Amino acid sequence: MTNLFKILIIFTALPMLAQDYKPVLDNKNEWHFTNCNFGCITDVYYTDGDTLVNGKTYKILDGYHYISRSFLLREEVAEKKLYFLRIRPSGGLDEYLLYDFNLQVGDSIDMKNPITPFPQDGGYFRLDSIVPRPLIDGNNYDHFYFSPSPSNTSSTHNAVWIEGAGSLSLINAPGGNPDINGVGALSCMFKNRDLYYSNLDSISGCNPIYMNVKQNNLKGVTITKTPNSELFLLHNTQFVSEISIFTLTGKRLKNIRHNFDENRAINFETYSEGVYLILVKGIDGAAKTFKVIK
């Protein structure tokens, strides 16, 4: 009876130990999409309000090439699925399943990339692996890695999804190729006031544009490196409340509660050579990132 009781406890505890699914859509969402074909250009799109269609709640996509406000997103969180709805000029509706985060390794999905530079019918992709990786908040989130199925005659490139963010390409291109030197790739994503994902390989930092976040307090914050040392100096930090240091993979190495001094020195002497991200947060909830190289 004792062994049976232990087994029952273990299986009862498993749901509590499992990580909860992180929805892609929050109250407000903003994606930055960077292309570096002829110098790096970042386009921004975001969700702007909710609407009802056939009794279902959708978020309205705006910005970038979604400015007609006829492109909508809805997420069924319990099913871990995200849908894209296009309202045709004639008034007709076309809805597509974009993401299914319930997929398991070895499963296949028919990728749809509506209103994107990629084939609308992207063909079947196989889920090759699911790898938990840390993002800006230091927590692990599942990264889904796909490759075209052998029968796929529409797509020849791989695709990547991130739990809580969507595709590393456009949000409505789950089968898109995230190539910053091609069509482009996701560089920043914000949920409400918080930076959720960033890739600073080709840009200097992530700052929200359409999130109704006051940014003036951090606008003057800059960073310099002290010559012949591993000391970096943040300037104009009198409105900074918190400073965090991350690796490029999103692992948080240090968190500093700032005391609103005008400048703040950060010593990288004990860190290995490489590239790091410094995230500063303001007293009004705004955030700004810097990339430094030791």
216-293 adopts what CATH topology? Immunoglobulin-like (2.60.40)
DSSP annotation string for 215-260: -HHHHT-EEEE-TTSSEEEEES-TTEEEEEEEETT--EEEEEE---
Give the pLDDT score at 7: 40
Give 161's pLDDT tier (boundaries 50, 70, 90).
Answer: very high
DSSP annotation string for 90-135: TS-EEEEEEEETT--TT-EEEEE-TTSSS-SEEEEEEEEEEEEEE-
Would you give the DSSP letter of residue 17? H
pTM: predicted TM-score of the whole model, two decimal places: 0.71
Q: What are phi and psi of 7, to 5 degrees?
A: -65, -40
Q: Say whether 184 sits in a helix, a strand or coil.
A: strand
What is the residue type of 230? E
Contacts of 114 (CB under 8 A, 6+ apart): 84, 86, 94, 96, 120, 172
Residue 11, pLDDT > 50, answer no
The percent of residues in the chain predicted with pLDDT above 90, rounded, is 62
- Reading phi first (left if > 0) and then psi (alpha if -120 to 50, else beta), residue 89 is in alpha
Q: Determine which of 37-46, 99-108, 120-129, 137-146 has the lowest per-residue pLDDT on average.
A: 37-46
Give the separation between CA 281 and CA 26, rounded to whole angstroms: 20
Give 171's pLDDT tier (boundaries 50, 70, 90).
Answer: very high
Give the separation between CA 96 and CA 102, rounded to whole angstroms: 17
Q: What are phi and psi of 78, to 5 degrees?
A: -60, -30
Give the separation between CA 6 and CA 160, rounded to whole angstroms: 40
Quote the tokens at residue 287. 């955030």
Domains of the chain: which residue ranges?
22-198, 216-293
